[in-house]
Amino acid sequence: MQSIFISGAGQGIGAAIARLFVQQGYKVGLYDINQSQVTSLAAELGSHAKAGLLDVTQPEQWQSALAEFVAWAGQLNILVNNAGILYSGSFEHTELSAHHRTIDINVKGVINGCYAAFPYLQQSNFARVINLSSASAIYGQADLASYATSKFAVRGFTESLDIEWQKYNIRVLDVMPLFVQTAMVQDMDAQSIKKMGVNLQPSDVAQQIYALVQKKDTVLMATHTPVGMKAKFLFNLSKFSPQFVNRLSNIWIAQKPK
């Protein structure tokens, strides 16, 4: 039986991924800084779910969590780096500590996870890493400066590691949704969410991740997968439009109504 380890699995996208993969017969690790949330969800999902504590900014917690999970599951096939945070509002009016915390969780957390998981992924007969990037990694979003920065970093890290780990037969991929209906986007202070709307559910992202895991033709599989029609449109537009057009489009998205 294949297994999947999910960071930030207590709610939102992480919880939706856990539900779907348990339904599909996987052994699922639900790990989160909020241990009570994942413990409750794992009890609901049954014997194929295991919960545990994980602060993704702490490398030693990654090591202990993965060792515990592999001892239970037998192997690690899929790592989903889902844990993330978002601060919105003007850059200069957001506390510097919030900007730093965004990088610590959204970037360093992904690096920590991949580093700690590599020995287990290398040993398994099927291995894949799915990182949660964002449509904010297509073009930097006003009032989401640190968040967009963190997701650009995840995008670049994913590309680099996908090439590096090819020799181990480990694909490293990311998904790039636009705004998803989770607690993270509630009360966001950014015009982009008002202009673009919230059209995705956590289950939409979970289904896309499951589809990526099921694909066997790894040679032709793209490293980045935008989720939802709007994210796909922006992703494709960025590839073919002149840079000034992309900039003007994002200025319009960021503009407040007069």
d(CA 253, CA 250): 5
Of residues 241 and 211, the one with the higher pLDDT is 211
CATH of the domain at 226: 3.40.50.720
Looking at residue 201, its pLDDT comes to: 87
The edge-to-edge listing of strands for the beta sheet with 27-32 is: 49-53, 27-32, 3-7, 78-81, 127-132, 170-177, 224-227
Looking at residue 196, its pLDDT comes to: 53
Collapse the DSSP code of 2 into the 3-class scheme (helix H, G, I; strand E, B; otherwise coil) and give the result: coil
- 72-82 pLDDT, tens digit per residue, is 999 999 999 99
Mean per-residue pLDDT, 109-127: 97
- 214-255 pLDDT, tens digit per residue, is 987 667 789 999 997 787 777 776 776 666 455 555 454 555
Number of domains in the chain: 1
Q: Which of 87, 147, 195, 215 is catalytic?
A: 147
Q: Which of 31, 50, 120, 151 is catalytic?
A: 151
On the question of pLDDT at 188 being above 70, the answer is: no
Active site residue 151: yes
195 close to 253: Cβ distance less than 8 angstroms: yes
Domain enclosing residue 15, as ranges: 3-254
82 close to 9: Cβ distance less than 8 angstroms: yes
